Amino acid sequence: MIGGLFIYNHKGEVLISRVYRDDIGRNAVDAFRVNVIHARQQVRSPVTNIARTSFFHVKRSNIWLAAVTKQNVNAAMVFEFLYKMCDVMTAYFGKISEENIKNNFVLIYELLDEILDFGYPQNSETGALKTFITQTGIKSQSKEEQSQITSQVTGQIGWRREGIKYRRNELFLDVLESVNLLMSPQGQVLSAHVSGRVVMKSYLSGMPECKFGMNDKIVIDKQGKGGATEEAAGKSDLGGSGGGGGKQSIAIDDCTFHQCVRLSKFDAERSISFIPPDGECELMRYRTTKDIILPFRVIPLVREVGRTKLEVKVVIKSNFKPSLLAQKIEVRIPTPLNTSGVQVICMKGKAKYKASENAIVWKIKRMAGMKESQISAEIELLPTNDKKKWARPPISMNFEVPFAPSGLKVRYLKVFEPKLNYSDHDVIKWVRYIGRSGIYETRC
């Protein structure tokens, strides 16, 4: 198991050092600094073995988090834990920075004592932790409160406490998708996938039992065969505002769920039921590859004129309903290292050559569907005797669109709270779809 956990600043000075196992000594702290942080070459692996001691590290801004062990630990677990540790710290004191860590070092030690025992990760849900690890000192707790805390920390529903009350029961669903694309210069899709998340913000009283439904192909097909079912009733409940057209159902390649979702039930019936944590949680993540709506198409044209000039023309075409607007559009056209000057002409938006980033950045605030726009640039190059050809990095794009490129639609989210007297109809529900660019690249 994890033998120790160290946090360093960018210089390699230790900010936090917590050792859990006897086989990890103080020298491990230095070994990591010398061999990884101060290493002359860029680190080639997130797992490093130094003198039979393994170091796992992740970096957040300029802070290094390193877990150390001498055993054959579950490596995936260690990284998941480090990420979780970052989440917990962020939830407690915001951004992970040297200053914040120093300001909260007592808290961090307290957290580390709680969420890692003898190197075994323990309950690390912030919701539960915040009930008994606080920055403002320990509240005096009644006996009931204490046992409530412990049963929550260890309980089946470790992510929610009992007795939550809201005057207005409300929930927000965000379907956030990032669409990834790799396209050849000829416009052939080399790979494309959507990775999406359903983020739920709920302000519900009691211990609400929820059921979530979407236009999952497997479920829809099953219903089609089996005739009308209870779910049909929820159809009108929540409508999606799809962008690409009326797709009935989508094929989900794979999905993962927050730990509140009953996985065995999903496996057996493909129904998503759960008691949500209070506040915000990421209910599910999913991935689709079939029938993706690619919101933009990038058509590049790069021509080398002699050895000292490049002509670049890039056309972008939006590909969704004309009534919808895409926002925050940014096209990044890489330029060679030996660029000496750039002249840009664009029809829409603003374009600038950023020498420090070796790219022409073209920004468009808004663009409606089924439109196209164009930029052309002349790049002047300094003559070099460097034999190596310019690697021509791909043209990348950023944008945000108000629909789900995968075609996913929320069909319903039903809430039951058997003990309290509010019903599904009393809950106010909001759904929002946001499609963003992930890695959206076109080679040129």
Partner 1 sequence: MEWANQLCENRQFGSKMTDSKYFTTTKKGEIFELKAELNSDKKEKKKEAVKKVIASMTVGKDVSALFPDVVNCMQTDNLELKKLVYLYLMNYAKSQPDMAIMAVNTFVKDCEDANPLIRALAVRTMGCIRVDKITEYLCEPLRKCLKDEDPYVRKTAAVCVAKLHDINAQLVEDQGFLDTLKDLISDSNPMVVANAVAALSEIAESHPNSNLLDLNPQSINKLLTALNECTEWGQIFILDCLANYTPRDDRESQSICERVTPRLSHANSAVVLSAVKVLMKFMEMLPKDLDYYGTLLKKLAPPLVTLLSAEPELQYVALRNINLIVQKRPEILKHEMKVFFVKYNDPIYVKLEKLDIMIRLASQANIAQVLAELKEYATEVDVDFVRKAVRAIGRCAIKVEQSAERCVSTLLDLIQTKVNYVVQEAIVVIKDIFRKYPNKYESVIATLCENLDSLDEPEARAAMIWIVGEYAERIDNADELLESFLEGFHDESTQVQLQLLTAIVKLFLKKPTETQELVQQVLSLATQDSDNPDLRDRGYIYWRLLSTDPVAAKEVVLAEKPLISEETDLIEPTLLEELICHIGTLASVYHKPPSAFVEGSRGVMHKRLPARTGSGESTESPDVGTAAGGSAPEAAPSIIPSQGDLLGDLLNLDMAPPTTTGPPPPNTGMQMGGMDLLGGGLDSLMGDESEPPHVPPRTDILRSPSPQPLSPVYTHTDYTYTDYSHTDSPPDHSPPDHSPTEHSPPAELGGDIGGSPAMGAGFGAAPAVMPASLNAPVGGGLGDLFDLGGGVGMPMGAYIPPKTVWLPAMKAKGLEISGTFARRAGVIQMELILTNKAMSVMTDFAIQFNRNSFGLAPAGPLQVLTPLGPNQTIEVSLPLSTVGPVMKMDPLNNLQVAVKNNIDVFYFSCQYPISMLFVEDGKMERQVFLATWKDIPNDNESQFQIKDCHLNSDAASSKLQGSNIFTIAKRTVEGQDMLYMSIKLSNGIWVLAELRVQAGNPNYTISLKCRAPEVSQCVFQCYEAVLKN
Q: Are 60 and 8 in contact, with CB atoms under 8 Å apart?
A: no
235 is in an annotated binding site: no
Angle made by CA atoms 196, 199, 205, in degrees to the nearest 5: 155
Which of 262, 290, 297, 328 lies at the binding interface for partner 1 (CB under 8 A)? Answer: 262
282 binds partner 1 (CB under 8 A): yes
61 binds partner 1 (CB under 8 A): no
Q: Which stretch binds partner 1 (CB under 8 A): 18-26, 237-245, 319-327, 424-432?
A: 18-26
Which of 3, 4, 104, 353 lies at the binding interface for partner 1 (CB under 8 A)? Answer: 104
365 is in an annotated binding site: yes
Q: Are 440 and 179 in contact, with CB atoms under 8 Å apart?
A: yes
Reported in sequence order, the residue ranges of 369-427 that DSSP labels E, i.e. its strands, are 372-381, 395-401, 410-416
77 binds partner 1 (CB under 8 A): yes
216 binds partner 1 (CB under 8 A): no
Q: Which amino acid, one-letter code, is at 435?
A: G
Cα distance between residue 108 and residue 92, in whole Å: 9
Q: Which stretch binds partner 1 (CB under 8 A): 224-232, 368-376, 382-390, 399-407?
A: 382-390
The 147-166 contact track toward partner 1, x by CB under 8 A, reads x-xxx-xxxx-x--------
Which of 264, 356, 385, 421 lies at the binding interface for partner 1 (CB under 8 A)? Answer: 264
Which of 266, 273, 317, 325 lies at the binding interface for partner 1 (CB under 8 A)? Answer: 266
207 binds partner 1 (CB under 8 A): no
Buried-state track 52-77, b at ≥16 Cβ within 10 A, e below 16 = ebbbbbbebeebbbbbbbbeebeeeb
- Residue corresponding to tokens 């919701």: 127
350 is in an annotated binding site: yes
225 is in an annotated binding site: no
CA diameter of the chain: 82
Give 404's DSSP letter. -
357 binds partner 1 (CB under 8 A): no
Measured from the CB atom, the residue of 38 and 235 that comes closer to partner 1 is 38
Minimum distance of partner 1 from residue 132's CB (angstroms): 6
Which residues from 308-327 bind partner 1, rule CB under 8 A?
none
Report how far Cα 47 is from the mean position of its chain's Cα atoms.
Answer: 22
Strand order of the β-sheet with 14-19 is: 14-19, 4-8, 63-69, 53-60, 47-50
Measured from the CB atom, the residue of 110 and 209 that comes closer to partner 1 is 110
Cα distance between residue 243 and residue 223, in whole Å: 25
426 binds partner 1 (CB under 8 A): no
Handedness of CA 93, 99, 104, 109 (dihedral sign): positive
52 binds partner 1 (CB under 8 A): yes
Which residues from 223-242 bind partner 1, rule CB under 8 A?
none
290 binds partner 1 (CB under 8 A): no
Strands 116-117 and 120-121: antiparallel
**Closest Cα partner for 284 from 273, 294, 295?**
273
Which of 31, 35, 75, 319 lies at the binding interface for partner 1 (CB under 8 A)? Answer: 75
394 binds partner 1 (CB under 8 A): yes
Cα distance between residue 255 and residue 289, in whole Å: 12
Number of residues that bind partner 1 (CB under 8 A): 107
Binding positions are 350, 352, 354, 363, 365
